[in-house]
């Protein structure tokens, strides 16, 4: 059976399971649609939360982000700590109290606690911006996974994914989504850990990837640790050591904090804790969620570091026993003849890997090009482009012409002055490039002495660290098929959770909360399904036509969640003095401060070219990157809310009573529709 | 809720446990994982230095333990103050 058929069968089986669950778990009431009838046991809710939280980015990209970071893998630990530590904040500071409050949405709590429809509306706007941003990435993830594994176009993949989410989210609401997510979690965690166990066995002899990370490098004889081996191999090739310290500890601190409080402030995560039966379950459910998330997150750094080492030793076979440069690099002939290396050509086709034998020696040298060589190379390419464009404009054929020959600049039998000038510039650039090769060193030899003309593995995409893992480890075809199903499960489960957060904000907070409070439950359930359908159509459309800034907006989503929703919820629970005025001003201050700081570097509303300051580290205020600004935005929110509240009237008695009541677990019971 | 003073005592006990838990949360991730890493390079956990390991694996284990310990302690506090469900 070929790989394609196998992929189709495995993905088909998982889809059939999801649809079967959807039919079984149809929602009959708004309580079931919004909060799964508050009947989900904590362990199962934890599993569903894990699938909800772990997106296409966690599954496909995170290991590669850590493995291939130019500043080394350690600095990227911010993602590992940030995306898990937020659950501690949820369990301690938010989840139990919001469950006791016993209603369905985050804006509803903010509206009741701050006795203000305005506060509820600001929260709805923040929620929709955050969730829509996220959902675009998930829909793209579905499309991309389909196109890579199932040989359909990205667009077709998106339609299939959209249709599947439609079936189980519109039918089952939170109930259908939750039980589907449980199944999706099982698929994605098996898909992630099976290849990781094998690669860990091969590289460190350790069955558990978590132990492999701190184990010794088995193929080299087990004398040195895996991480020390990785450090020595990559530094030899001119990369920064994998375990090197963060170049900006302060920024790493703030980035980690932003991810933590952003996680705790994400509406689609918070609403998960409305689904459990009791307040005590909300606490332990956060723990279970983290257990299931940790199964992937503690494996990810092992996958990242081992895949990086594997990739490097594949291209430098000498590195296994000794140093990388002690033996020739991998040859193209070997890539084409060795069946264990067929994955290189497979992933080259998808453009996740790109190679170019610059010095024509039939070998692929992979190293970190020193800056002087990289810059000189870019200058050569620019000079070449200028000359060929001018030649085309003057009617000279470019194909097969030596650009440095007189023929390249001859127009009507005479040398053209403009073209000659451009050719001279090209010759100068070539000379500068040759000079840079004699200047730049790898170890104690110059590139000229080594005979290198630049890095020849010109592209290694982050995603390949997970996607190609089963093939690199020469695992059977069903594992590859499982990775496809796992990537789809990760993307679909997160998309469904986000879509539910969006649709409940629209039907419950906008339509029932603001426009027509007398809506019957049956009518509201109908509106919830209409809103879900609308949200899926919008998400599919945005997935098909992603705004150019899709990747950038994720920074905004986390920043906003950190600077608006988290501080406001926390103050609403832990302070009786923060009032309507304080909460609204605080949210707006956090929102505007965070958005403006990001826009300053990324462009106003992410329109390219409208940024006031270049997006580089030396331009950041105190070295704080736009990704990390959410922490500062949260502080701004806290301070403004406190100062404004102190200057205005304390909240009324019924709000004081509400706070008293959410602080004690007793009497939570079933949620009230209203 | 029976009376005001017992409600206050319950809340004070909860806040105390939260503060202790947050101190542990901060110390293992931001402390050992980031701020103190350069100072603790000599301490190894297998093939990794302590700060690196805490940042990539260790703090996640602590987070899990922390949530379950908090849930257990609060279950006891709930019972002691008669506010459990």
Judged against a pLDDT cut of 80, whether residue A285 lies above it is answered with yes
| Rounded Cα–Cα distance for residues A496 and A170 (Å) | 10
Are A87 and B1 a contacting pair at CB < 8 A? no
C-alpha distances in Å from residue A583, one per residue of A89, A122, A219, A513: 20, 10, 59, 19
Give the tens place of pLDDT for each residue, A223-262.
899 999 999 999 999 999 999 999 899 999 999 999 999 9
Are A88 and B67 a contacting pair at CB < 8 A? yes
Q: What tokens does A332 get? A: 């193209």
Phi, psi of B24 (to 5 degrees): -65, -45
Judged against a pLDDT cut of 80, whether residue A606 lies above it is answered with no
- What is the overall mean pLDDT for chain A? 89
Q: How many CA atoms lie within 13 A of A660 on its CB side?
A: 16
Are A74 and B67 a contacting pair at CB < 8 A? no
Instruction: Provide mean pLDDT across the span A190-200.
Output: 93
Partners of B68 on chain A (C-beta within 8 Å) are: 284, 287
**DSSP secondary structure of A550-573:** HHHHHHHHHHHIIIIIHHHHHHHH
Judged against a pLDDT cut of 50, whether residue A673 lies above it is answered with no
Q: Phi-psi category of A153—alpha, beta or left, where left has phi over 0 and alpha has psi -120 to 50?
A: beta
What is the domain partition of chain A in residue ranges? 23-306+471-547, 371-460
Q: Which residues lie closer than 8 Å to A97 by C-beta, 6 or more apart?
A: A573, A662, A663
Partners of B30 on chain A (C-beta within 8 Å) are: 253, 256-257
The residue ranking higher by pLDDT, A197 or A30, is A197
Residue B35 near residue B57 (C-beta atoms within 8 A): no
Partners of A227 on chain B (C-beta within 8 Å) are: 47-48, 52
Out of A91, A280, A574, name the one closest to residue B67 (CB). A91
- According to the model, what pLDDT value does residue A657 have? 93
The residue ranking higher by pLDDT, A144 or A265, is A265
Q: What tokens does A568 get? A: 């406001």
Judged against a pLDDT cut of 80, whether residue A546 lies above it is answered with no
Partners of A213 on chain B (C-beta within 8 Å) are: 46-48, 56-57
**DSSP secondary structure of A189-204:** HHHHHHHHHHHHHHHH
- According to the model, what pLDDT value does residue A549 have? 54
Judged against a pLDDT cut of 50, whether residue A672 lies above it is answered with no
- pTM surpassing 0.80? yes
Q: What angle do CA A577, A583, A585 make, to 5 degrees?
A: 125
Closest CA to A292 of A526, A58, A135: A58
Q: Minimal Cα–Cα distance from A227 to chain B, Å?
A: 6
Residue A450: its H or E element: helix A447-450
The residue ranking higher by pLDDT, A499 or A140, is A499
Q: What tokens does A497 get? A: 């959770």
Out of B25, B29, B34, name the one closest to residue A249 (CB). B34
Count of beta carbons in the 10 Å neighbourhood of residue A408:
22
Are B53 and A88 a contacting pair at CB < 8 A? no
Q: Minimal Cα–Cα distance from B6 to chain A, Å?
A: 11
**DSSP secondary structure of A306-330:** HHHHHHHHHH-GGGTTS-GGGSPPE
| Rounded Cα–Cα distance for residues A643 and A578 (Å) | 9
| Rounded Cα–Cα distance for residues A239 and A601 (Å) | 27
Judged against a pLDDT cut of 60, whether residue A674 lies above it is answered with no
Among the listed ranges A469-473, A482-486, A528-532, A561-565, which one has the minimum average pLDDT value? Answer: A469-473
Q: What angle do CA B9, A586, A662 make, to 5 degrees?
A: 30
Among the listed ranges A8-22, A296-310, A555-569, A592-606, which one has the minimum average pLDDT value? Answer: A592-606
Out of B18, B56, B82, name the one closest to residue A92 (CB). B18
Which chain B residue's Cα is nearest to A225?
Answer: B47
- According to the model, what pLDDT value does residue A98 have? 93
Are A215 and B46 a contacting pair at CB < 8 A? yes
Out of B30, B38, B59, name the one closest to residue A245 (CB). B38
Q: What angle do CA B36, B42, B46 make, to 5 degrees?
A: 105
Residue A158: strand, helix, or coil: helix
CATH architecture of the domain A23-306+471-547 equals Up-down Bundle (1.20)
Instruction: Provide mean pLDDT across the span A599-615.
Output: 80
pLDDT band at A330 (very low <50, low <70, confident <90, very high): very high
Partners of B63 on chain A (C-beta within 8 Å) are: 84-85, 87-88, 290, 294
Residue A459 near residue A132 (C-beta atoms within 8 A): no
Instruction: Provide mean pLDDT across the span A130-144.
Output: 82
The residue ranking higher by pLDDT, A580 or B85, is A580
Are A85 and B45 a contacting pair at CB < 8 A? no
Going by the DSSP 8-state scheme, the letter that residue A508 receives in this structure is I
pLDDT band at A601 (very low <50, low <70, confident <90, very high): confident
- According to the model, what pLDDT value does residue B1 have? 45
- According to the model, what pLDDT value does residue A265 have? 94
C-alpha distances in Å from residue A21, one per residue of A169, A275, B27: 11, 18, 43
Which chain A residue's Cα is nearest to B9?
Answer: A664
| Rounded Cα–Cα distance for residues A188 and A541 (Å) | 26
| Rounded Cα–Cα distance for residues A29 and A407 (Å) | 79
- According to the model, what pLDDT value does residue A342 have? 85
Among the listed ranges A3-17, A296-310, A411-425, A578-592, which one has the minimum average pLDDT value? Answer: A411-425
Count of beta carbons in the 10 Å neighbourhood of residue A271:
24
Residue A253 near residue A632 (C-beta atoms within 8 A): no
Q: What tokens does A99 get? A: 């469950």
The burial of B19, by beta-carbon neighbours within 10 Å (0-12 exposed, 13-18 middle, 19 or more buried), is given as exposed
Judged against a pLDDT cut of 70, whether residue B68 lies above it is answered with yes
Are A280 and B71 a contacting pair at CB < 8 A? yes
Query: Alpha carbon A559 to chain centroid distance?
Result: 15
Judged against a pLDDT cut of 80, whether residue A14 lies above it is answered with yes
Residue A275 near residue A35 (C-beta atoms within 8 A): yes
The burial of A665, by beta-carbon neighbours within 10 Å (0-12 exposed, 13-18 middle, 19 or more buried), is given as buried
Specify which residues A459 forms β-bridges with. A354
Report which listed range, A156-170, A218-232, A388-402, A572-586, is most confident.
Answer: A572-586
Are B38 and A87 a contacting pair at CB < 8 A? no
| Rounded Cα–Cα distance for residues A233 and A224 (Å) | 12
Are B30 and A256 a contacting pair at CB < 8 A? yes
Instruction: Provide mean pLDDT across the span B77-81.
Output: 92
The residue ranking higher by pLDDT, A441 or A639, is A639
Specify which residues A353 forms β-bridges with. A460
Are A665 and B48 a contacting pair at CB < 8 A? no
Instruction: Provide mean pLDDT across the span A505-510.
Output: 89
The residue ranking higher by pLDDT, A604 or A183, is A183
Partners of B37 on chain A (C-beta within 8 Å) are: 245
Residue A432 near residue A158 (C-beta atoms within 8 A): no
First-residue to last-residue Cα distance in chain A:
56
Partners of B57 on chain A (C-beta within 8 Å) are: 80, 210, 213-214, 298, 301
pLDDT band at A621 (very low <50, low <70, confident <90, very high): confident
Instruction: Provide mean pLDDT across the span A474-487.
Output: 88
| Rounded Cα–Cα distance for residues A614 and A380 (Å) | 25
Going by the DSSP 8-state scheme, the letter that residue A628 receives in this structure is G
Out of A81, A215, A280, name the one closest to residue B75 (CB). A280
Which chain B residue's Cα is nearest to A254?
Answer: B30
Q: Which residues lie closer than 8 Å to A349 by C-beta, 6 or more apart?
A: none
Are A213 and B57 a contacting pair at CB < 8 A? yes
Specify which residues A446 forms β-bridges with. A441
Report which listed range, A134-143, A162-171, A351-360, B63-72, is most confident.
Answer: B63-72
Instruction: Calculate helix-pair angle for A171-204, A521-544, nearest 10 degrees.
Output: 40
For testing the chain B interface, which of A67, A100, A206, A214 should be mutated: the one with the most B CBs within 10 Å?
Answer: A214
Size of interface A-B (CB pairs under 8 A): 143
Instruction: Calculate helix-pair angle for A417-439, A371-393, nearest 10 degrees.
Output: 160
What are the CB-based long-range contacts (under 8 Å, 24+) for A325-329?
A325/A236, A325/A442, A325/A443, A325/A445, A325/A450, A328/A363, A329/A363, A329/A364, A329/A365, A329/A366, A329/A456
| Rounded Cα–Cα distance for residues A235 and A237 (Å) | 5
- According to the model, what pLDDT value does residue A312 have? 93
Judged against a pLDDT cut of 60, whether residue B64 lies above it is answered with yes
């Amino acid at each position: 059976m070929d790989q394609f058929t196998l992929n189709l069968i495995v993905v088909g089986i998982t889809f059939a399971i999801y649809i079967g669950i959807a039919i079984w778990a149809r929602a009959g009431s708004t309580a079931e649609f919004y909060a799964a009838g508050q009947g989900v046991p904590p362990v199962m809710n934890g599993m569903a939360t894990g699938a909800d939280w772990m997106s296409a980015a966690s599954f496909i990209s995170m290991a590669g982000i850590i493995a291939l970071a130019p500043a080394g893998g350690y600095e990227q630990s911010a993602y590992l700590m940030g995306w898990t530590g937020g659950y501690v904040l949820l369990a301690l500071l938010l989840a139990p109290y919001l469950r006791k409050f016993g209603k369905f949405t985050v804006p509803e709590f903010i509206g009741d606690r701050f006795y203000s429809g305005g506060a509820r509306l600001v929260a709805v706007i923040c929620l929709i911006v955050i969730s829509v941003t996220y959902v675009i990435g998930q829909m793209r993830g579905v499309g991309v996974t389909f196109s890579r594994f199932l040989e359909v176009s990205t667009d077709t993949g998106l339609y299939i994914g959209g249709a599947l989410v439609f079936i189980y989210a519109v039918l089952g609401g939170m109930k259908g989504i939750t039980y589907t997510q449980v199944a999706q979690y099982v698929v994605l965690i098996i898909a992630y850990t099976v290849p990781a166990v094998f690669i860990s066995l091969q590289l460190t002899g350790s069955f558990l990837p978590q132990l492999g990370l701190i184990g010794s490098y088995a193929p080299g004889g087990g004398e040195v640790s895996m991480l020390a081996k990785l450090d020595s191999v990559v530094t030899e090739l001119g990369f920064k050591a994998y375990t090197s310290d963060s170049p900006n500890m302060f920024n790493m601190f703030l980035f980690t904090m932003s991810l933590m409080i952003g996680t705790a402030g994400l509406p689609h995560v918070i609403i998960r804790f409305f689904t459990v039966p009791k307040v005590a379950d909300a606490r332990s459910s956060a723990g279970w969620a983290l257990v299931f998330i940790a199964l992937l997150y503690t494996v990810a750094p092992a996958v990242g570091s081992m895949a990086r080492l594997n990739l490097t030793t594949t291209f430098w076979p000498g590195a296994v026993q000794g140093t990388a440069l002690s033996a020739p690099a991998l040859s193209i002939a070997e890539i084409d003849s060795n069946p264990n290396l067929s994955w290189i050509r497979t992933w080259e086709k998808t453009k996740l890997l790109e190679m170019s034998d610059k010095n024509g020696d039939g070998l692929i040298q992979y190293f970190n090009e020193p800056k002087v060589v990289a810059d000189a190379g870019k200058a050569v390419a620019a000079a070449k482009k200028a000359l060929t464009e001018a030649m085309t404009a003057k009617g000279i054929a470019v194909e097969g012409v030596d650009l440095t020959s007189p023929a390249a600049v001859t127009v009507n039998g005479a040398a053209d002055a403009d073209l000659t000038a451009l050719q001279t510039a090209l010759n100068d650039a070539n000379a500068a490039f040759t000079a840079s090769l004699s200047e730049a060193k790898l170890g104690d030899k110059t590139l000229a002495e080594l005979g290198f003309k630049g890095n020849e593995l010109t592209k290694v995409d982050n995603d390949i660290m997970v996607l190609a893992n089963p093939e690199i480890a020469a695992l059977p075809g069903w594992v590859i098929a499982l990775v496809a199903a796992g990537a789809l499960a990760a993307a679909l489960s997160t998309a469904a959770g986000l879509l539910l957060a969006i649709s409940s904000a629209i039907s419950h907070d906008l339509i029932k909360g603001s426009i027509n409070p007398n809506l019957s439950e049956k009518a509201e359930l109908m509106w919830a399904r209409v809103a879900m359908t609308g949200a899926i159509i919008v998400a599919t459309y945005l997935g098909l036509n992603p705004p150019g800034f899709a990747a950038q907006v994720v920074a905004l989503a986390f920043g906003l969640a950190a600077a608006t929703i988290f501080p406001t919820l926390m103050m609403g629970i832990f302070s009786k003095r923060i009032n309507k005025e304080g909460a609204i001003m605080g949210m707006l201050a956090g929102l505007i401060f965070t958005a403006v700081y990001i826009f300053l570097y990324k462009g106003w509303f992410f329109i390219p070219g409208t940024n006031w300051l270049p997006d580089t580290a030396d331009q950041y205020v105190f070295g704080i990157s736009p990704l990390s600004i959410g922490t500062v935005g949260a502080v701004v929110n806290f301070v403004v809310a406190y100062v404004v509240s102190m200057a205005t009237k304390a909240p009324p008695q019924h709000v004081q009573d509400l706070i008293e009541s959410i602080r004690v677990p007793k009497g939570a019971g079933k949620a009230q529709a209203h | 809720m029976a009376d005001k003073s017992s409600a206050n005592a319950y809340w004070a006990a909860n806040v105390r446990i939260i503060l202790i838990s947050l101190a542990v949360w901060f110390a293992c991730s931001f402390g050992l994982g980031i701020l103190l890493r350069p100072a603790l390079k000599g301490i190894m956990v297998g093939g990794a230095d302590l700060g690196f390991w805490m940042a990539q694996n260790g703090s996640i284990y602590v987070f899990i333990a922390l949530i379950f310990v908090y849930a257990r302690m609060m279950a006891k506090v709930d019972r002691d103050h008669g506010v459990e469900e």
